[in-house]
Every structure is written in C-alpha cells, then in structure tokens.
Chain A
Amino acid sequence: MRKFEKLTSAIVPLNIENIDTDQIIPARFLKATTREGFGENLFRDWRYNGDHSLKADFVMNNPAYKGRILVAGKNFGCGSSREHAAWAIQDAGFDVVISSFFADIFKGNALNNGLLPIQVTDAFLAEIFNTVEKDHAATLEVDLENQTVTIVASGAQEGFEINAYKKSCLINGYDDIDFILNQKHLIEEFEQTK
C-alpha cells in the first residue's frame, strides 16, 4: 500500500449529499478482475452522456477544477460494499476525500487502499465549498501526522479523527494482512478452543 503523509492540493468540489457507490462506479463497470483502470468510469453517468461525450456541467469536466482532493456532501459512499469505488477514486488521481459524513464500508475500503477519508464538520465543509466557489484554484493542506486540514488562503483549520492503528498503517504503507499474519499462532490457538 502506498504511504501517505502530507498533501497540499487544489480540490474538486462535488456538493451533493448521499453520493452512493453506484454513482461512484456503476455496477456494469465492475467486471474487471484487476484493481486498475476503474478511474476512467468514476462518476460515469454524471460525467459522460450516453454517447460517451463529456457532460459539460459536471465538475470533473471543468478544466478550472484540478486537484488530488475530492470534497463531497454528507453520507459519501453509501450503498454497496464494492471496493471498486475506492479504487476508481484513487485511479482517477485522488489521494483524499473530504466529507461531513462517510458510510462505514466505503471509509474502511478507502483506508485499506491508502485513500484518506477525512470527516469534517458541516460548517467547515460549507467553508471549503464557499472558498472554492470564489477561487476555483483554492488549495487545502492535509497533514495526516497532526490530523489537520487547512484552507491555505485563509488559514482556517480543522482537526480530524482517525484510528491510531489506521493512521500508522497509512504513514508506514502497511496493511491489515501484514498485521494479522504476524499473529497467526493466536488464530490457530483460538480455533483449538472453539
């Protein structure tokens, strides 16, 4: 898994609530058997017309918005457990997703892939949306070590929560399987007691 420490980037704002994983990556694009290439179909039906031409009004198709941070309305990633959603976001070039609320499975999947989900308050989320509306090139600084997000222009900052274990996984680039495999003897002992 790739390591994550600090990131300063412009943002792509998607001010819609309850964005479900069928919007992030529709089921008909889940037929690949590798993890690569899903970014092409990220937000497929919002991003493309039926004839594969780009929908001009979708934020990812607006060249004014570029960046490695996706900012979305609350309850992001609800619905299906498809990890393809996290892969698609990452494959499309994002390292961080910010929302005021995440669905559980999406959040876990993101963390397991080194895509950092950051939950901020509704007020701070609104402030980010306002900032980027005025200046499309506005940047955020994400500091995982200190668990802060900062709107660079104004200096407005908010802390965020992350499980200490998951944080160390992200910083060091190791995953749950490495962690559990080191304790396999405990699993075998547990099976004896069942």
Chain B
Amino acid sequence: MSKTLVEKIWDAHVVKSEAGFPDILYIDTHLIHEVTSPQAFDGLRKRGLPVFRPQQTVATADHNVPTLNQLQPIKEELSRFQVDMLTKNCAEFGIELYGLGHPFQGIVHVIGPELGITLPGKTMVCGDSHTSTHGAFGAIAFGIGTSQVEQVFATQCLLQQRPKTMKIEVNGELGKGVSAKDIILYIIAKISAAGGTGYFIEYAGSTIEALSMEARMTICNMSIEMGARGGLIAPDQITYDYIKGREFAPAGEEWDKALAYWKTLYSDADAKFDSVLTFDAADISPMITYGTNPGMGMGISAHIPATGDQAVSEQASFQKALDYMGIEGDTELVGKAIDYVFIGSCTNSRIEDLREVAEFVKGRQKAENVIAWIVPGSKQVEQQAIAEGLDKIFESAGFQLREPGCSACLGMNEDKIPAGKYCVSTSNRNFEGRQGPDSRTFLASPLTAAAAAITGKVTDVRTLLNEPVHA
C-alpha cells in the first residue's frame, strides 16, 4: 500500500495500535531543557521511577540563560535555580547535559542537527513547540507538554493519535531578497495561525528541494505557527551531505546501513494526503508581520489590511491587535521607525543566517536609533562565526554578537524589548508581550531585519540590494 512519509515513519515506530485507543508511539530521541522538565523529573520521583532510556535523552540549557558573561553565575535568581535544577536532575537520572560552558551548548533545536543527533526517519520530541524544526531531516518531530515529557522519561513512548497529513508544495524560483523565512511567513499568512491544526505537514516542490538544510529548518520550525503538530521534508543528497561527519552521526558501516534506510523515506507517488496546497515561489515577496499572531503577515510593501476586511466575528480581535501594535489599518509599514533588531532564535540563528546578515551589513552602519542584537543558536555557531571573522563585521557595523540561547525570542532572560518599543525580529512569535511586557514585534527574515537595523525603519531590503556599499 502506498504511504506518505509521515505514515512510513509513524508505522515503523508503533509499539501497539488498538482500535479506540491512541497508538503507543516509540520515541527515538528525547531533547530536554530547563523550563519544561523539572516538574516531569518530580513526577518520576513521586512514582519512584527511573528514566527508562537515559542514553536516548539529551539535555541543554537554553531558554533562560544570559547571553552575556555566560560563565559567571546567573544573576537572576529564579533562572539560576532552574538551570541548576536541570544540572542536578540530569546527574541524578543519568542524562547527558550540554550545559553552560560546554562546547555543544545551545538552543535545543540548533544543537540536535549540528551534532548529528537529528537524523532521517527518527521520532523526536521535546517539551518545546518548535521541535518541528528537526522535521527538516525527514524525522517525525513535535513539541509536547510536561506530562508527556514525564511519559517519555518513564516509558520512551507516547500515546498519540495518528495525525492527519497535509502536503504543501512550493514550486519555482525565489525572487531577489526572498528567503526561507519569507516562504513560511507567506504560507502562514495564507492559511492562518490555525490552518494547519491537527496535521503533520510535508513540504515539497522544487523551491523546497533547492533549499539548504538551514533554510529547510527555518521552514519546518514554524509549522506550529499555523497550528500543525509538525512539519517535515523528505531527505535527499543535501540532507545526507549535511549529516555526514557530524559528532554523533553514524559512520562507516553504520552510515551505509543508515543511508540505505534513509533512501526509502519519501512519500510514494500515489500516496494520499488529507489536504494538499500548492504555492508559486514567484508570488512570494520579503514578508513582515504587522499583528499579534504569525498569521498576520504580508508582503513588506503591501498595505496593512483594514478592520472590516475580515469576517464580522473576527474584527474586534483584529482591531485589538492593531491597537496593541500602535498601527492603523490600510497604511504602509515601510518607513515605520523601529527601536530594536533581534537576529536569533531557533528559527534563524544558524551559521548560514549569520553569514547572510554579515554579507549584507559589511561596509554598512546600523542606524543610531537602533539596538541590534545577534544571538547565535549555539556555541558551535558562535565559534564558527568568530573563525570566519563575522564577529568583526558585526562589530564594525554596530551589531552586538552575544552568546547562545533563546534570548529575546521569549524574553525569559534579561534580553527584553522595553514596553512600547518596536523590534524587527527573526524569531517565530509576535504575540502580545512575547519579547517583554508591551513590546511590539515585527517578524521577518534575517535580511529584512538587517535592512531595518541599517535604515532604522521597516525597509524593503530589495531597494538596498543594488546600492553600492563602501567597505
């Protein structure tokens, strides 16, 4: 019988399937961090249980770590307590921890792929909704709550309903200044912040196939922003080339065996999806969000929709979002003065993102009214950036290169956007207060964020790409 990629991987991990019950799904790799794990460890203690497969569990500290002076004790007491608790729990339950100071430390969704832990055909979970990032390798990867973290600790399994499947095809060549972030913001704007709920999405088509692994991760990362349980892309030569030689990737005979299996991981030509959507890459411009959920996005040069363009029942919520953002419907966003630029998060903090920003800002200067933070996704990304001299480029352009963590994506550490201030951010959520109480977020690509830092305003980066730069 023909199967979709999701069905192939799912079926290979079903321990038990019984009518009237969710499947018992085996989990190959469990990633954990300091924020959503402590109550799960507590649960184990109360039940008197060990972690069933500690060697299939990997921990890092990322959500509330500082991005300056990481080797000094964390100043903020509750954050320090939570990070210390992770260290203690990992030691007690025998889990490998890449904590602060470790060369592998970083955002959980950045380190999995770069260490070769994320592999095609795996099932992977983490108490974090952006776990879908790992789907870029052709893995079933999804975010879970803390009760489920405890469940995976205790059994290495999860009770899960088989998901519905959706295929999103994007075909054709991307325009100048348009990147993976724009593709996913475009799709979410088209189908809404709830349009993927209940589905696992497979991204396909010639545009997706031409993307690097970093770009594919950006796409899969934001699947949750349309409500999807996960997103994935069939592995191909680009995937294999990325994985080969990484720290924990299979090698030698194991590699050959793994590769033979990975080559079976694609949706059969006549496989049935519950839903199929197709988009044309030529229709996608650099994108920006104007509202307070990721579905409220538009081509950067477009006009913000007016209240009244929506269904009557949605108008009050729409107007509430514009009021929060301090903007008006039916106006342009281009030219709007901004205060902060944040380049980072599990969506856009990989070496390729930093290289793209460096190439653009080289020989340029950030605007005086803007504070520009670049927060690498991991220690390895940070070291690579320094080795390539990107740190010098950022410094002379007036951008601060900080130390790795989730940072201003969710403002659990000191990196908060002040009340009322505007931030062009490469992160994944523009919810009210997400980057700090009463902060205002415009989501965009690294290139669009860099352009805003240079001009001090929301800017269509395409207008700067042909401009001569004096290095």
Contacts and interface: CB of A to CB of B under 8 A. Distances in A.
B147 A101 contact: no
A120 to B, nearest CB: 14
Nearest to A17: B317
Interface string B448-467: 00000000000000000000
Contacts of B85: 33
Q: Which of A16, A35, A74, A176 has its CB near the most chain B CB atoms (within 10 A)?
A: A176
B79 interface: yes
A84 B37 CA distance: 11
B446 interface: no
A175 interface: yes
A140 interface: no
A165 B20 CA distance: 7
Interface residues of A, number: 55
Interface string B158-196: 110100000000000000000000000000000001100
B155 A28 contact: no
A28 B22 contact: no
A183 B52 CA distance: 13
A81 B47 contact: no
Contacts of A9: none
Contacts of B36: 81-83
Interface in A93-117: 101, 103-105, 108-109, 112-113
Interface string A25-69: 011101111110000000001000010000000000000000000
A187 B293 contact: no
Interface string B13-52: 0011000111010100000000110110011000100001
B410 interface: yes
A20 interface: yes
Interface residues of B, number: 66
Nearest to A1: B147
B434 A22 contact: yes
Contact of A180 (B24, B147, B320): B24
B438 interface: yes
B154 interface: yes
B154 A18 contact: no
B425 to A, nearest CB: 14
Given A79-B429, A104-B197, A105-B144, A186 B155 contact: no
Contacts of B229: 104-105
Contact of B320 (A16, A84, A101): A16
Given A81-B143, A187-B157, A50 B194 contact: no
A75 interface: yes
B54 interface: no
A126 B64 CA distance: 40
A23 B292 CA distance: 11
A184 to B, nearest CB: 7
A57 B193 CA distance: 27
A22 B410 CA distance: 9
B128 A26 contact: no
B412 A28 contact: yes
B432 A23 contact: yes
Contacts of A22: 410, 429, 431-434
A18 B161 contact: no
A164 interface: yes
A27 B317 contact: no
B438 A180 contact: no
Given A33-B39, A50-B437, A78-B227, 11 more contacts: A22-B431, A31-B64, A75-B197, A78-B193, A81-B127, A81-B129, A105-B144, A112-B145, A113-B147, A186-B15, A187-B156
Interface of A: 15-18, 20, 22-23, 26-28, 30-35, 45, 50, 73-75, 78-84, 86, 101, 103-105, 108-109, 112-113, 122, 126, 163-165, 175-177, 179-181, 183-184, 186-187, 190-191, 194
